Amino acid sequence: MVNTLDPQNFNNFSEASVSVEIETEDMTLNIGPQHPSTHGVLRLVAKVDGEKVYDVKPVLGYMHRGYEKLAEVRSYPQITTLVNRIDWVAGFSNEIPFIAGAERLMEIEVPERAKHIRLILTEMARISSHFVFNGAYALEVGALTPIFYAMEDRERVLDLIESVTGGRFHPNFNRIGGVKPAAGSGPTTKKDIQDLPAGFYRDTKVAMQKVIEAADQFQNLIGGNEVFKKRTKNVGILTAETAEAFGVSGPILRASGVKSDLRTLTDYLPYDQFEYDIPVGENGDCYDRWDVRVKEMVESAKIVLQAIDSMPSGPLQAKVPKVIKVPKGRTYVRAENPKGEMGYYIVSDGGLGPYRLKVRTASFSNISILPLLLEGALLPDLIAIMGSLDFVLGDVDR
């Protein structure tokens, strides 16, 4: 690239008729893999011309753990443990579609109470994931305060998940046919042991009220901030058409104005029993992506509160064979996870483990639009756009 300085513009030098040619070079900027804003180990090789980014190449694989290969040598109950670690910010949500797929092939009818507990916990996982996003995203665009509020509020939700499952991040709570008997629940009889811990309903009601308050607080603290608005409005606009062709799902798709939610479209959990809104954005910019997630937290809290009020009684486990063998067949079960569509394509040959397990994760497809979104963006916007996609590298690389 050659920039010519026109001597006519420099009156003092015009008589000397100086013509200077300055050679400029494209710079290749290497971001990551160890970079705080990449939510893990994503590497971006960006070509920049001054402040403008004109070509970005994401380099993946630093977190590749080979789940699909491992799944071929594990039995179904063992895979439940593995899949927790795919999207570690919302570990519980990862179990749902896998377990639902195995149950579908085995034709097991899960008890209503177990389904409700699954639903409550997966919504809590969504809330905790969106808390992390709120804190981290504000941090990335320059606001230090919100992450402290977000982490404090998230801890309240994680405590609840822990009180039921025994794990904060990796609950490993689902069993084929139902859920595990809850940890730390009543001391004596078998019936007590298998139920939710004492005081769970009361604590949940308090925590969910706090979530609704926190979302309101974020709307003021983050959304009301002029700098935040300037950094995110009309930045990184994604159209609905492009999003669909790339398989972008979840809050990012909804921020582009598509009212699409697998919770209402499919029946992997009894969401049809509850009333909630599906927040959508208008412009598909970074601000809308943030806004949709904050509003979703409130809706999730509402679902949890309704689910607690209408909690059915009954067993937590359906009758299942002692040795889990999934009949021959194949199925694809997808679920609306905090980051978008997550699904497992199970190809069973009637054995102890699947013949082939394809893991479809949301973040993988979501960040495949990065090269497109970042083309022509300013370098400071790169972080704002990347952060708004809310990806987790475990979910990208698997």
Partner 1 sequence: MEEFLSKINENFINTDVEFETINIKVDSSQWVETHQKLKDEFDLKFFSWLSAIDWDNEVSIGEAPKESVSPSFEIITCLSNVSNNNLVTVSTTISKLEPKITSLVEIYAGANWHEREAYEMFGINFENHPNLEKLYLPDGYEGNPMLKSFELISREVKPWPGEVDVEGMPEEPESDESVDG
Give the footprint of partner 1 on this chain (CB under 8 A): 60-61, 64, 66, 68-70, 72-73, 75, 78, 104-105, 111, 177-178, 194, 241-242, 244-249, 253, 258-260, 265-266, 315-323, 325, 328-332, 334, 341, 343, 345, 347, 349-353, 355-356, 358, 360, 364-365, 368, 397
Nearest-approach distance from CB 290 to partner 1, in angstroms:
21
Greatest C-alpha distance within the chain: 100
> Between 112 and 203, whose beta carbon lies closer to partner 1?
112
Nearest-approach distance from CB 277 to partner 1, in angstroms:
16
Residue ranges with strand state E in 186-296: none
* CB neighbours of residue 25 within 10 Å: 7
> Between 29 and 347, whose beta carbon lies closer to partner 1?
347
> Between 150 and 248, whose beta carbon lies closer to partner 1?
248
Nearest-approach distance from CB 391 to partner 1, in angstroms:
13
Token pair for 226: 């002029």
Nearest-approach distance from CB 198 to partner 1, in angstroms:
21
| DSSP state letter for 80 | H
Mode of pairing for the β-strands spanning 20-23 and 2-5: antiparallel
> Between 235 and 248, whose beta carbon lies closer to partner 1?
248
> Between 117 and 304, whose beta carbon lies closer to partner 1?
117
What are the residues whose beta carbons fall under 8 Å from the beta carbon of 245, sequence distance 6 or more? none
| DSSP state letter for 45 | E
Nearest-approach distance from CB 124 to partner 1, in angstroms:
23
Provide the terminal-to-terminal Cα distance of the chain, rounded to the nearest Å. Answer: 41
| DSSP state letter for 152 | H
Cα-based angle 139, 141, 147 (whole degrees, multiple of 5)? 20
